[in-house]
Amino acid sequence: MSRLFNRLKELRSEAGHTQAQLAEAVGVSRKTINTIENRVFIPSALLALKLAAELGVPVEDVFYLGDDE
């Protein structure tokens, strides 16, 4: 079964953002960023696009489908 994975933490760190800074930039809480990074929460398409835009990468670079580990 395919699941949604992400590279948000890696890309956020490379961009020099804290969770709080990225959250403020896209209009969500720091906890939301944390739960996305830990695959507890799957963001809406709108939030996924905002995150990718803020990080300056295509959304496919942040989120991708993969098989269960």
Question: pLDDT at residue 63 above 80?
Answer: yes
Calculated CA dihedral for residues 43, 44, 47, 48, nearest 10 degrees: 70
Question: pLDDT at residue 44 above 80?
Answer: yes
Element (H, E) at 20: helix 19-26
Predicted confidence at residue 69, as pLDDT, reads 59
Q: How far is it, in rounded angstroms, from Cα 24 to Cα 13?
A: 15
Mark 30-39 as b/e (b = at least 16 C-beta within 10 Å).
eebbbebbee
Predicted confidence at residue 10, as pLDDT, reads 98
Confidence of residue 1 (pLDDT cuts 50, 70, 90): confident
